[in-house]
Amino acid sequence: MRIAIYGAGGVGGYYGGRLAQDGHDVELIARGQHLDALKEDGLTVESVEGDFHVDLPATDDPSEIDPVDVVVFCVKSFDTADAAADLDGLLADDGAVLSVQNGVDNEPVLVDAVGSERVWGGVTYIFSTIKEPGVVEHTGGPAHILYGQYHDIDEEPPERSALADAFLDACEEATGMSAKYTENVHATLWDKFALICAQAGLTAATRQPLGRVRANDESWSLYRQVMEEVVAVAHAKGVRFDWDPVGKWLDAMQEGSDDQYSSLHYDLTHGKRMELDALHGSVVAHGRDAGVPVPATRAINAVLAPQADANAE
Are 163 and 204 part of one and the same domain?
no
Q: Which domain, by its residues, includes 191?
A: 187-312
Are 20 and 141 part of one and the same domain?
yes
Are 205 and 93 part of one and the same domain?
no
Q: Write phi, then psi, for 258 (nearest 5 degrees).
A: -60, -30
User: Concatenated DSSP letters for 238-271?
Assistant: T---SS-HHHHHHHHHHTS-TT---HHHHHHHTT
Per-residue pLDDT, 138: 96
Are 175 and 289 part of one and the same domain?
no
Are 202 and 173 part of one and the same domain?
no
Residues of the chain with pLDDT under 70: none
**109 burial type by CB count under 10 A (0-12 exposed, 13-18 middle, 19+ buried):** middle
Per-residue pLDDT, 171: 98
What residues are paired with 123 via a beta bridge? 146
Per-residue pLDDT, 190: 98
Are 204 and 297 part of one and the same domain?
yes
Per-residue pLDDT, 237: 97
Residue 143 falls in which region: left (phi positive, over 0), alpha (psi -120 to 50) or beta: left
| CATH code, 243 | 1.10.1040.10
Are 38 and 174 part of one and the same domain?
yes
Q: Is 5 helix (H, G, I), strand (E, B) or coil?
A: strand
CA–CA distance, 24 with 22 (Å, rounded to integer): 6
Q: What is the largest CA-CA distance in the chain?
A: 54
* 37-74 pLDDT, tens digit each: 999 999 999 999 999 999 999 999 999 999 999 999 99
The last residue of a domain, from among 165, 183, 201 = 183
> Taking the CA atoms of the chain, what radius of gyration do you get in angstroms?
19
What residues are paired with 129 via a beta bridge? 137
**2 burial type by CB count under 10 A (0-12 exposed, 13-18 middle, 19+ buried):** middle
Are 130 and 194 part of one and the same domain?
no
Q: Are 28 and 8 in contact (CB under 8 A)?
A: yes
* 223-275 pLDDT, tens digit each: 999 999 999 999 999 999 999 999 999 999 999 899 999 999 999 999 999 99
Are 223 and 165 part of one and the same domain?
no
Long-range contacts at 34-38 (CB < 8 A, ≥ 24 apart)? 34/8, 34/9, 34/130, 34/133, 34/134, 35/59, 35/60, 36/133, 37/132, 37/133, 37/134, 37/135, 38/8, 38/133, 38/134
Q: Are 191 and 245 in contact (CB under 8 A)?
A: yes
* HSE-up of residue 212 (Cα within 13 Å, Cβ side): 10
CA–CA distance, 150 with 295 (Å, rounded to integer): 30
The last residue of a domain, from among 161, 183, 205 = 183
Supply the pTM of this predicted model: 0.96
Are 58 and 198 part of one and the same domain?
no
| CATH code, 161 | 3.40.50.720
Are 20 and 127 part of one and the same domain?
yes
Query: What total number of domains does the chain contain?
Result: 2
Per-residue pLDDT, 124: 97
Pairing mode, strands 52-54 and 43-47: antiparallel
Are 220 and 137 part of one and the same domain?
no
The last residue of a domain, from among 126, 158, 183 = 183
